Amino acid sequence: MGINLTHCVLERYPLADKSGSLSCAPMFIISSGRSGTTLMRSMLVASGNVAIPAETQIIHTLAVKFPLLFGLGWEGLTRTIIADFESHPNFPLWESNLTTAYRKTADLPRKERSLARIIDEVYMTYASEKFPNAKFWGDQSPIHTFALPYIHKVFPNARYMHLLRDGRDVVSSMVKRHGDDYLYEAVYRWKTSIKRINAFIKKIPPEQYLEVRYEDLVQHPEDTLIRVSRFLGIEYTSKMLDYWKLPSTIEHKYKTFHVNLGKPVFPTSIGKWKERLNEEQQSYILKQITPELKSLGYFN
């Protein structure tokens, strides 16, 4: 007696958009963390021209997860991806309802289906609610710095803004937040972020990348934001410097380590590592990152 086997072929979908149906080329703010990315987010969204929600840190993980979900079918796949955003601890800071994203992605024509399009609909739903005049959306999640090839697979035309800060101040800020035991991890994160970004930018066109130094942002905020605005193709407005007065700046209301967002920009955080770190910690840091500091022009 023969046995009839039914072969089920899963319908597969690409990571990147192949139909030209995305709303924009998104922008990613990247760094090692504690380098001013949340400050930059607050400044940019204050203009109303860019929609950047509080960080969710998951896009790179979705690039890995997405192909594993094809068995759910397109509707089940989209619901799972969108639910990942909603389940993130920072999602309440978005103050957004993603019902529209669920509906739009479920009804997409076959040729427009991709992970990029799902993510695009999530961020555009947020943008329509919070920044209806925004020309494009962005993401501010430092963790993406360590998985840039995955981001690039999903959004090959994305732009990247690297917030670079003196590694000594970055490490001291991380230690202040997480405790002395975090010293070694903080050093590793900063060193690795520099290495990963330097390797990544060699693989993308120069017009897709901009380096912005934290020190320039806090010492010369207007000039720096004009340069950033030119890179992004938006008009600079003085509202960007009033971020601390506006309801679009929210992280300091929920996270104590973002308390300074409730104040005008100031430069006195530069060189804080000399006060925050003891001699032993300073010695360890300098031993570990002096070559990088020199190559970046920070060491003196």
Q: Give yes or no for a contact between 204 and 28, defined as CB atoms under 8 angstroms apart.
A: no
Q: Please tell me the pTM assigned to this model.
A: 0.95
Domain assignment present for residue 263? The answer is: yes
pLDDT for the residue 251: 96
pLDDT for the residue 300: 66
Per 3-state DSSP, what percentage of the chain is helix, strand, and coil (rounded to 5)?
A: 60, 5, 35
pLDDT digits (tens, 9 = 90+) for 187-221: 999 999 999 999 999 999 999 999 999 999 999 99
Residue environment code for 281-299, b if the CB has 16+ CB neighbours within 10 A, otherwise e: bbeebeebbeebbeebebe
Domain assignment present for residue 257? The answer is: yes
pLDDT for the residue 3: 41
Domain assignment present for residue 183? The answer is: yes
> Residue type at 170?
V
Ranges of residues in the chain whose predicted pLDDT is under 70 = 1-9, 300
Strands 209-213 and 50-51 turn out to be unpaired
Q: Give yes or no for a contact between 117 and 47, defined as CB atoms under 8 angstroms apart.
A: no
pLDDT for the residue 182: 97
Q: What is the CATH number of the domain that holds 211?
A: 3.40.50.300
The parent domain of residue 269 ranges over 27-296
Domain assignment present for residue 97? The answer is: yes
Domain assignment present for residue 13? The answer is: no
Domain count, the chain: 1
Domain assignment present for residue 180? The answer is: yes
Domain assignment present for residue 1? The answer is: no
Q: Give yes or no for a contact between 56 and 91, defined as CB atoms under 8 angstroms apart.
A: yes
Domain assignment present for residue 4? The answer is: no
